[in-house]
Amino acid sequence: MTRRGLGISTAALLFAAVSVVLGCRLADTDGITPVPQLLAFLPWLLAPAGAGLALALLTRWWPGTIWAAAVLALLAWFIAPYGKGTEPDGRAIASLTVLTSNVEFGQATDALVAAVREERPDVVFVEECEYGCSARLRQALSESHPYRRSVAGGGSTGSVLLSRYPLKAAPGIRATMGMPGAVADVNGHAVRLQLAHPMPPLPGQVDLWRRELGELRDFAASAGSGPTVLAGDFNASQDHAAFRAILDTGLRDAARLAGSGRTPTWPARTAPAIGAQIDHVLVSADFSARDARFLDLADTDHRAVLVDLRLHEAGRPARS
């Protein structure tokens, strides 16, 4: 094969691989392995697409340059934030600071305790909080966060929800990993809280991942018009159809509202340079988000997400 032929073949393979992923994104489906895994890193597909364009230009493969232009245009379109970016017009009646953190099998528990003591969030969602982690949080944070709901479990299955505000019991979501729920009394206002931690889209488990994200979508759709916070490690980004279905219920990503809609949270070793935002704080239309920060905690592969929310009067139209 000539050098030109090798260059064209390589460019065609790069374009074909990216096109398969983009085709699923365009069709609003997550497809099958390896598409769900690649969709999490959709913005980074600019790299192989750009390499293919360079090869097409070097080899003067003009149909390839047209293919590259179409691929790059679609990538640019899909990289734009998804979901509503509106804020309520009603006056703010309460504030709520929310922190969500996957502590990776409890390894980052001490780092999380230090972060909670420093940042003083009102509500803390903790994923992969196994037995030791749960006991440590009870011992270290019971004074500042006396209210809790949890699902006990080892490894990745345990989850804990901590609050400064009184909590009432509420049904959680039954799934492979713990997803407790509660209703918080935030200065006299009932706020529905739900922790999210569906299974990741591992090869052979994509159907389970899709089904558990569907359970979260059903929760979001049934939450009604009351103030709601759905937060945790979703193992999904805005480029996954199963996650966009949750946003389509009317919930909005607080990080996007605060202007940080694509800031990566995983894997922590390469974020924020390279990664995907799979940890989210989703809120109902009653909330605005003033700030979103991403905390690098030791001994976990996830960055924690800290958002400063304001609860507004109900019954007012939203503005764009």
pLDDT per position as a tens digit, 267-296:
999 999 899 999 999 999 999 999 999 999
Per-domain residue ranges of the chain: 3-79, 87-313
The top-level CATH class assigned to 87-313 is: alpha beta
Within 8 A by CB and 6+ apart from 41, the residues are 274, 275, 276
* Percent above pLDDT 90 for the chain: 92
**pLDDT-derived band of residue 85, with 50, 70 and 90 as boundaries?**
confident
pLDDT in tens, 22-56: 999 999 999 999 999 999 999 999 999 999 999 99
DSSP string, 77-128: HHHS--S---EE-SPEEEEEEEEEEE-TTTTTHHHHHHHHHHH--SEEEEES
Q: Is the pLDDT of residue 314 over 80?
A: no
